Structure 1
Amino acid sequence: MRIDLSDQSVDALAEVISGGSASGQERSIGLYRQGWRLEAWFKGFEVSFDLKRESRLPATKTALHGAMFIDSGKGELLKRIIESAADPRDFIKEPERHAAVVEYLNKHLFYDGLKLEQAGRTMRLVEIEETAPVTNALSAMAAGIDFDTVSRDLERALRAAVSDPELAVTSASAVVESVCRSILVELKLDFPAKQDISSLYRAVRDPLGLDPMKEGLAPEIINDVKAVLSGLVTSVQSLGSLRTHVGGAHGKEKGFRRIDARIAKLAIHSASAIALFIIETWQLRHPGRALPLRDRPNESS
């Protein structure tokens, strides 16, 4: 991972690590560390920290620039430093403060193409994947309606597109499945016996009225819309087949690759388009009626 921090990100990181200036009028968002603690903190990364020429906050910025020079864009050292700056163990007594620190850093790191995210008990620095407009639209809509299941599956798919394309396909398929299950839950309809993506999509087609004859369309375009909807069915079926053949849920030997990132991203974008269409159709048929946050009642997140 190549890391090129902007001056603004360095300033934010220095604020968090040092706890800001000792003479600051307002409480710093970071944890206040005395000079000797800062020296010990940077020593753990084999980065020089010198208080003889500068006070704590400027010396912290200088140390970070020194780390950038040592790192030479490789990212390994800076990744460790940034992740350690947001270590949740330092905020055990103030978990809400830890959340504020992560948000503060992420607002700056965003412009460097990076973000911090929770990974079990630790924080992990990851690259922000550039996404297609349809994926951005689905992300925005899922966030807007608090649809946590879709947001989680979509983020998982985007993260895995390059590193684990098979897992990305599984997560992409799960996006569509989550939307369909949520609609069935909200309408109090029975789940199909087989809960794969094709069966779930078929189960919501009639309740959503996905039939161009019911849309009041002009006669000359009914067949065209039918063809588009038929293509949607084909896309759903193809996603299900792809997941069956290469999806991470079905096991594979370590290091094996049946597909590359291009195919994984195609699956993600296809799933996003399908899920977006289903949600927009739901909103058209049931204006103001929210979908459940999760695709099953009492499902753990």
Structure 2
Amino acid sequence: MPFPLSPQSIEALAQVISGGGGNDPTPPIGIYRSGPKIETFMRGCNVDFRVAGSRLPSLVDCLLEINRGYEPEKVLPRIIEAAADPRDFANDPPRHAAVTEYLNGVLRYDGFELLQQGLRVRLVVAGHATPVVERLSGVADTISFDTVGRDLDRALASIDSDPEDAITAACSTIESVCRSILIELGEPLPAKKDVSGLFNAVKKPLGLSPDRSDLDSLIADDVRTTLGGLATVINGIGALRTHAGDAHGRERGYARVDARIGRLAIHAASTVALFLIETWQRKFPARALRRHDDPA
């Protein structure tokens, strides 16, 4: 992600967290917080903050120090997302919309935007989220499946700076969904646990085999063609991870793929993962899909 942020974004973030100056007669942009409340908010973001003097200048100084410090990309997104947490505006949704719009007005100049994804707001690289990616992230938030959101965040964050890592994360998204489906169904994991092997293992229990015979004759060939294409896409993503991703290291003189290929992998993987999750929800509506790590 492109850090550090601009001073304008830091100032806007401080205004939202604090609710503005104590003597400011205008309505607060965010939620007015006293000094102790700001300290509590920052502790909730794993930041040790103490008001020294005036609350708002102290907060700005703290955020500037984080912004100039070591790995701000690991701290500031957490603070920004917490500042726009929908739960704090449950009784005033219009204010939440105004806060998100206000922050996005400055964050977009830094290459970021806040998007509502499911039950939470996420900071993403501006212009990288698509309806499929947003839908997948939202679905992942409404089921017990947090690893999909982490894989997506990792992939989106590295599209431009490290497209090889984006490809690896995109492939991991599909693998995580397949593993969880198999374990929830009590099915054994395949001997070959790459993305193609895992997808082949979930096809039958989810009713996705192209040779199924229960289809309307009018659409049977079309459905089989589409399902066959799905397998081709998955095989392609797996091969791309092997040959262009970073999962197996990089040799000297490694030729980097460009961001277009990273986006292609993310969008294709998101489409497949969303289809698998929605197929699970349709076939097993009473069973939540939970995250399961591969025990092997």
TM-score after normalising by structure 1: 0.67
Give the letter for the 1:109 counterpart: L
Deviation digits for residues 221-275 of structure 1 (CA, Å, limit 9, x no counterpart): 1001100100000001111111110111111157844310001100100001111
Give the letter for the 1:237 counterpart: N
In the alignment, what sits opposite 1:153? Answer: 151
- The alignment status of 1:30 with 2:30, answered yes or no, reads no
SS at match of 1:189: coil
Corresponding residue pairs, total: 247
Greater alpha carbon shift after TM alignment, 282-291 vs 17-26: 17-26
**Residues 38-187 of structure 1 aligned to structure 2 (within 5 Å):** 38=57, 79-80=67-68, 103-104=82-83, 107=100, 109-111=103-105, 112-113=107-108, 114=112, 127-187=125-185
- Is the 8 Å Cα contact of residues 210 and 225 (structure 2) preserved in structure 1? no
SS at match of 1:219: coil
> CA offset at residue 79 of structure 1?
4.1
- Is the 8 Å Cα contact of residues 182 and 294 (structure 1) preserved in structure 2? yes
CA distance in 1, matches of 2:236, 2:165: 16
Aligned-residue RMSD, C-alpha: 4.1
Deviation digits for residues 114-152 of structure 1 (CA, Å, limit 9, x no counterpart): 379xxxxxxxx9744531211111111111113111111
Give the letter for the 1:289 counterpart: R
Alpha carbons of 1:243 and 1:37: their partners in 2 closer, same or farther (altered >3 Å)?
Answer: closer
CA distance in 1, matches of 2:221, 2:14: 58
CA distance in 1, matches of 2:193, 2:68: 42
Alpha carbons of 1:267 and 1:100: their partners in 2 closer, same or farther (altered >3 Å)?
Answer: closer
CA distance in 2, matches of 1:141, 1:42: 38
- Is the 8 Å Cα contact of residues 185 and 292 (structure 1) preserved in structure 2? no
SS at match of 1:291: coil
- Is the 8 Å Cα contact of residues 175 and 198 (structure 2) preserved in structure 1? yes
CA distance in 2, matches of 1:174, 1:162: 18
Give the letter for the 1:80 counterpart: R
Alpha carbons of 1:18 and 1:196: their partners in 2 closer, same or farther (altered >3 Å)?
Answer: same
Alpha carbons of 1:142 and 1:44: their partners in 2 closer, same or farther (altered >3 Å)?
Answer: closer
CA distance in 2, matches of 1:260, 1:237: 20
- Is the 8 Å Cα contact of residues 156 and 166 (structure 2) preserved in structure 1? yes
Give 1 or 2 for the bigger CA radius of gyration. Answer: 1
SS at match of 1:162: coil
Deviation digits for residues 19-74 of structure 1 (CA, Å, limit 9, x no counterpart): 953899963542433159958x85997xxxxxxxxxxxxxxxxxxxxxxxxxxxxx
SS at match of 2:38: coil
TM-score after normalising by structure 2: 0.68
In the alignment, what sits opposite 2:236? Answer: 238
Specify every segment of 5 or more residues in structure 2 that has no aligned partner in the other structure, as ranges: 26-31, 40-50, 86-99, 115-122
The sequence identity of aligned pairs, in percent, is 40
- Is the 8 Å Cα contact of residues 161 and 264 (structure 1) preserved in structure 2? yes
Give the letter for the 2:83 counterpart: Y
Alpha carbons of 1:213 and 1:251: their partners in 2 closer, same or farther (altered >3 Å)?
Answer: closer
Pick aligned residue for 1:191 from 186, 189, 200: 189
**Residues 3-22 of structure 1 aligned to structure 2 (within 5 Å):** 10-14=11-15, 16=17, 20-21=21-22
CA distance in 1, matches of 2:24, 2:11: 20
CA distance in 1, matches of 2:52, 2:289: 46
- Is the 8 Å Cα contact of residues 19 and 33 (structure 1) preserved in structure 2? no
